[in-house]
A and B are shown apart, each in its own frame.
Chain A
């Protein structure tokens, strides 16, 4: 009984960390620009595919491959910022138009990746071992465990940047009211640019670590965007931490539902549950709390 529950909690934590990482990155961009970036999952896809390219095709050791991968995803984020976000904002486009712009960006990134890597599944080499690892009575592997560690690390890093630095204060101020922030001397375009780059960095690293477990393919971004978006909506879109908590909650619900209920209906049941929560709390589970904190 305890063994089963422990396995379920570990699985929930692992899957929840993946959803939470994408939700966190989505929310960082939303927090500064009020735009949902539909290309977020594509950054994770680029992370996985670049890991394959630099580690397998270019035979680089993983630290170098990770550096090279970060350069690629950050460049992709800059392209999204300069090519889609800024031109639309400067033409006073509505947020919905900018969101459709990011969707177009996602399709372009997918198309470019398709041309480079083709439609086949790629074996992304693990950074850590995939061999069974025993922790007490639980058996898992280091690569899977690293996702939980990565989630905690990025959560703390984001908290530190946002709440313990003057720069973080500027980011939050831009999110609340970009015009007022601009009048106070904060260059909001730069802040949004940072949030694009930082969230691409988180998603890229997440993609590199997820790739060996999910298998790398150019179509994986959409699934991750959907899960990250669910996490962000469920937790509360305005706050990166609420989105991260939403991801964990979804992961846990999936695991417990699969373990004790019926796994066939786990996904629809969770969607229904999220919908019910949103009817009661339209800003997500922790949305109000974060609104007050601001």
Chain B
């Protein structure tokens, strides 16, 4: 009798425990979103700015009660430009924090590590500034908010073709950024029937780049396209000005960087840069005014708007009916899959990045910004201290 009582008691205890575990796993999931990006190291600005932009969107929503009464819990990790650290933090977000979604990856190397985590842990990833094209090749869980480097080239080729430019010279440094930038520009320009009059490569350790500029000058281009790093970009511009070349110069990405403008000073003036931030849009101007108030003054950086836009889509997908159903059922993988599917359904939108003619196009086959209408052109002025949005038609006329 005693033995039967023990068995009965034991079975009852196991049943209670099992029920307890079952009911615990059915508890609604927390709305955990991880920001995994560089906030120290060489690309620190991108991660700090993207996190600030993300908070500018999420903080007011949480202050107003969150989504369906649930606040978004933002977990942040600093990847310090270390791909291994990024992989480890991404895995922590997926496994330990039970994150629903990862936002981050401004440098391509960090983003690449996070792509590995996204595919292995089956967690959606919203990539920020990383420009490497293969990041979203055959993508399943990953989506990009920053344009690929090839999209800059498309914007440049479009602007040149529209303005009747037929002869372009390319100068680039010999590191992967310069070589891949020049290769993608060459492809797009050739497709538009624009002749490449000269292709010049230089070593980043060369103090004198006049051989490359002499060859460029002799090829008589209408426009010069430069793919440098900030320091050698300043050297190239100094030599171009020194040798009296008057052609417009286009310098994708690096032309907007503070380091380039500081080092080149007045030689940077007039450099044209395709930019994914159109500060002439009232909503964008308002955002930057608020950013300056909340954090620090900032000139046309894409990172805070990328963070804000990633936050906008996050809120949209978290409100989605199917995502909410999975969250309320406590089904973590179900919620992640639902977020991925909702991104492709809801991701065709105009955010703060891009122009009103082109924004984001997330579908099953396209996981990034639109190829057309995403860029405006800015010109550096005030001895490298200022930047202004310009009409490429006027700016591309040789002086």
A290 in the interface, Cβ–Cβ < 8 Å?
no
Asked if residues B234 and A215 are in contact (CB atoms below 8 Å), the reply is yes
Question: Least Cβ distance of A262 to chain B in Å?
Answer: 8
Instruction: Give complex CA distance A160, B94 in Å.
Output: 67
Given A4-B218, A259-B211: A264 in contact with B199 (beta carbons within 8 A) = yes
**Residues of B contacting A267 in the complex (Cβ-Cβ under 8 angstroms):** 174, 203
Q: Is the CB of A210 within 8 A of B211?
A: no
Q: Is the CB of B211 within 8 A of A255?
A: yes
Indicate whether A34 reaches chain B with its CB closer than 8 angstroms. Answer: no
Q: How large is the interface on B (under 10, 10 to 19, 20 to 34, 35 or more residues)?
A: 20 to 34
Interface residues of B in 231-263 (CB under 8 A from A): 231-232, 234-235, 238, 241-244, 259, 262-263
A215 CA to B237 CA in the complex, in Å? 13
| Contacting pair A263 B235 (CB below 8 A) | no
How far, in angstroms, from A49 to B200 measured CA to CA in the complex? 30
Neighbouring A residues of B203 by C-beta, 8 Å: 254, 266-267
Is A11 positioned at the interface, with any CB of B under 8 Å from its CB? yes
The residue on A at minimum CB distance from B215 is A259
Is the Cβ of A214 less than 8 Å from the Cβ of B231? yes
B residues less than 8 Å from A11 (CB atoms): 206, 208-211
- Rounded to whole Å, the gap between the CB of B267 and the closest CB of chain A is 9
Contacts of B234 in A (CB 8 A): 215
Q: Is A217 in the interface zone, CB < 8 Å from B? A: yes
Least CB distance, A129 to chain B, in whole angstroms: 12
Contact with B along A3-22 (1 / 0, CB 8 A): 01001101100110010000
Residues of A within 8 A of B61 (CB): none
Complexed CA–CA distance, A263 and B243 (Å): 19
The proximity string for A residues 218-230 relative to B, scoring 1 for CB distances below 8 Å and 0 otherwise, is 0000011011000
Residues on B with beta carbons closer than 8 Å to the beta carbon of A147: 207
A150 to chain B, nearest CB (A): 12
| Residue from B202, B232, B242, B263 within 8 A of A258 (CB atoms) | B202
Interchain CA distance A78-B140 in the complex, whole Å = 56
Residue A181 CB within 8 A of the other chain: no
| Cα(A89)–Cα(B215), bound, Å | 51
Give A128-139 as 1s and 0s: 1 = Cβ < 8 Å from B's Cβ atoms: 001010000001
On chain A, the residues within 8 Å of B44 by CB distance are 119
Give the chain A neighbours of B210 by CB distance below 8 A.
Answer: 7-8, 10-11, 140
Q: Is B41 an interface residue (CB 8 A)?
A: yes
Q: Is B208's CB under 8 angstroms from A15's CB?
A: yes
B201 contacts partner chain A, Cβ-Cβ < 8 Å? yes
Cβ proximity bits B101-138 to A, threshold 8 Å, 1 near / 0 not: 00000000000000000000000000000000000000
Q: Given the known A-B contacts A120-B259, A258-B215, are A139 and B207 also in contact in the complex, defined by CB atoms under 8 Å?
A: no
Is B214 located at the chain interface by the 8 A CB criterion? Answer: yes
Most chain B CB inside 10 Å of its own CB: which residue of A144, A147, A258, A259: A258
Task: Please state if A121 and B230 are interface contacts (CB–CB under 8 Å).
Answer: yes
When distances are taken between beta carbons in the complex, the residues of chain B under 8 Å from A266 are 201, 203
Q: Decide yes or no whether B313 CB sits under 8 A from chain A.
A: no
B348 smallest CB distance to A (angstroms): 38
Give every chain A residue within 8 A of B235 (Cβ-Cβ): 213-215
CA distance A144 to B243 in the complex (A): 14
Q: A123 at the A/B interface (Cβ < 8 Å)?
A: yes
Residues from chain A with Cβ under 8 Å of B202 in the complex: 258, 263
| Residues of chain B contacted by A254 (CB below 8 angstroms) | 203, 206, 211
Q: Are B212 and A263 in contact (CB under 8 A)?
A: yes
Query: Are B238 and A258 closer than 8 Å at their CB atoms?
Result: no
Q: Is the CB of B208 within 8 A of A10?
A: yes
Query: Inside 8 A of B212's CB, which chain A residues have their CB?
Result: 258, 263
Contact of B42 among A119, A210, A223, A226 (CB under 8 A): A119
Assess whether B211 is in contact with A8, with CB atoms less than 8 Å apart.
Answer: yes
Would A210 and B207 count as touching, CB distance under 8 A?
yes
Chain B residues packing against A (C-beta within 8 Å): 41-42, 44, 174, 199-212, 214-215, 218, 230-232, 234-235, 238, 241-244, 259, 262-263
17 A-B pairs within 8 Å (CB atoms) are namely A7-B211, A14-B208, A18-B207, A121-B263, A130-B238, A132-B241, A140-B210, A141-B238, A214-B207, A214-B231, A215-B234, A223-B205, A224-B205, A254-B203, A258-B200, A263-B202, A267-B174
Could you list 5 further interchain pairs (A-B, Cβ under 8 angstroms) beyond the known A121-B262, A121-B263, A215-B263? A8-B210, A120-B42, A120-B259, A144-B208, A263-B212
Binding site for B on A (CB under 8 A): 4, 7-8, 10-11, 14-15, 18, 119-121, 123, 130, 132, 139-141, 144, 147, 210, 213-215, 217, 223-224, 226-227, 254-255, 258-259, 263-264, 266-267
